[in-house]
Amino acid sequence: MAEKNLINQTAIVTGANSGIGEGVAIALGEAGANVIVNYVSNADAANEVVNKIKSFGSTAIAIWADVSKEDQVISMFQQTVEQFATVDILVNNAGLQRDAKFHEMTLAQWQLVIDVNLTGQFLCAREAIREFLRRGIVPERSVACGKIICMSSVHEIIPWSGHANYATSKGGIKMLMQSMAQEYGREKIRVNSICPGAIKTPINKSAWETPEAYNSLMTLIPYDRIGVPEDIGKLAVFLASDDSDYITGASIFIDGGMTVFEGFATGG
């Protein structure tokens, strides 16, 4: 059984009704946290995640909000504080792709990805930090005043042809995360990024759904398997807990070695 090291802490996980967000929400719930399962579409999937978390004896509710809309993000935090008195952990996970060759990319494709992946993280983190500062440290729950985990990507450092909007959003998250960690370290607010490589979720189905695609993907991954949301869930629990108390401003790569550049294994 998982260690219950997040008992009495309240976590908001954005985009928690699918893929990595779902895996993270379930892992935080299993570690004892009250979990807000944010979703923007497919309420049924969000309710399934809520029920799974409740099966561990933890509390969970689903809250609808588009993370790129300021009023909806503010409302999500207000509903959370009304129900659970505060927020201790934010996992900024919601994200999407709208891929196109750069010279064919529309402004709408560019803007949507920046709005959701980057501005959405700004809006949620700002509300979280406002609430952390209002509440202050509660030593019975955590030595930190609050924890923010930004879902970045290996593409915060690996350029990605055909995905300039996505890679730019993740590069932006790196600076957003580090600037927040720098600005609020003295208030004991910890801010870190998880940088996944290839994780088996709907966002990258075309990269793993056929044997040909999977084998091609494996040429990029020394550890020779695709990641699963549970891999990310375990890291999120660690980063949300006091076990990682001296870690802030860090990008933690969880990628089966993708960022050691397998292409150079035979000399480049």
Residue with tokens 């044997």: 211
Minimal distance, residue 154 CB to ligand NAD, in Å: 6
Q: Active-site residue 166, yes or no? A: yes
Supply the minimum distance, in Å, between the C-beta of residue 249 and ligand NAD.
19
We find the least distance from the C-beta atom of residue 80 to ligand NAD, in angstroms, to be 15
**Torsions phi, psi of 127, nearest 5?**
-65, -40
Q: Which of 33, 32, 56, 36 is nearest to 46 (CA)?
A: 36
Nearer to ligand NAD, 121 or 142 (CB): 121
Find all residues with CB under 8 Å of 203, minimum gap 6, and list them: 19, 95, 96, 97
Tokens matching residue 261: 């550049």
Q: What is the DSSP string of 30-78?
A: HTT-EEEEEESS-HHHHHHHHHHHHTTT--EEEEE--TT-HHHHHHHHH
Catalytic residue among 166, 184, 214, 246: 166
Shortest Å, Cβ 133 to ligand NAD: 24
Residues that bind ligand NAD (CB under 6 A): 14-15, 17-21, 38, 40-41, 66-68, 93-96, 116, 151, 153, 196, 198-199, 201-204
Closest CB to ligand NAD among residues 145, 220: 220
Beta-strand relationship, 251-254 and 10-13: unpaired
Q: Which is nearer to ligand NAD, 43 or 133 (CB)?
A: 43
Q: Quick one: 94 or 220, whose CB is closer to ligand NAD? A: 94
Catalytic residues: 166
